[in-house]
Amino acid sequence: MKVILLGTAAGGGCPQWNCACRLCVSGLVPRSQDCVAISADGASWYLLNCSPDIRAQILGTPELRAGPGPREIPLRGVLLTDAELDHSLGLLMLREAGGLPVWAPEPVLSALSPFRAIVDGYGGWSWLSAVNIPGLRVDVLPVSDKRPKYVSAAQDGPWVVAYRIEDRATGGVLVYAPCLRSWPAGFDAFVSGADLVLLDGTFFASDEMAGVGGPDQLAMGHLPITASLARIAGRQGRWAFTHLNNTNPVLDPASPEHAAVLAAGATLPADGTSYVL
């Protein structure tokens, strides 16, 4: 299985357009909003989430570019972890795809009804809760009940899920969990034996947003990196943090927070990083 990290930042990217925090004005290498591409054969590709930056991410990734025919594309579908706008707005940018399957939990599909009505006008789209991808086994674990801000009606979840994706030919396993409110029940078993785990790295510590007037991180639905490091130290497989917020000090390679992540055996991969599992 081939895995490409198209974007590794949280909503708004880094730098964020409405922020003048230390990191946004420091000249760090930019990161676009979180999105991953996976393929079992290197020809048919599936997106994990679909960020508002998807057009630039596709054009910047040779494996995802159109061709050889004038309107041939290698994209075959999208898996959504939730209904947050930074994970789903890109669907509108893919409206010319000629139709793709989109997989997500039922509450997510319901919340995205306005998007669905727009995209369906371009024909051929399907909206599914049971994932079926040739060559890959996909298991789903509910990890949070946090609804997006724009969803007002109370509705049972799951609102946020993680994916465990196994290549049936090679046995390689990817776990994608960019939004964790906690280390949920069953998550240890879910990541067991995985070759690569992409974890929620939105914030480093629980008081991080205080510097820019934001709420507590747990209220925002993100487990801080500090709470995850002790759980992953010494474990097998590769552990990487993604979905990094523009306020997160780990973005600075010279910071002690960045060093702490590396010391725990995890990584902070940049946009464009690729893996073969």
DSSP letter string, 100-129 = -EEE--HHHHHHTHHHHHHHHTTS--EEES
Q: State pLDDT tens for residues 28-41.
A: 999 999 999 999 99
Q: Please give the Cα distance from 8 to 236 (Å, whole number).
A: 22
Report the mean per-residue pLDDT for the chain. 93
**Taking residues 63-73, what's their average pLDDT?**
95
Model confidence at 137, pLDDT cuts 50, 70, 90, reads very high
Contact 218/206 with Cβ under 8 angstroms?
yes
Q: Please give the Cα distance from 14 to 8 (Å, whole number).
A: 9
Model confidence at 217, pLDDT cuts 50, 70, 90, reads low
Evaluate if pTM is beyond 0.85. yes
Point out the least confidently predicted range of 3-7, 9-13, 128-132, 208-212.
208-212
- Flag whether pLDDT at 209 surpasses 90: no
Architecture of domain 2-276: 4-Layer Sandwich (3.60)
Rg (CA), the chain: 18
Q: Assign residue 234 a region (left: φ > 0; alpha: ψ between -120 and 50; beta: otherwise).
A: left
Nearest CA among 128, 202, 136 for reference residue 164: 136
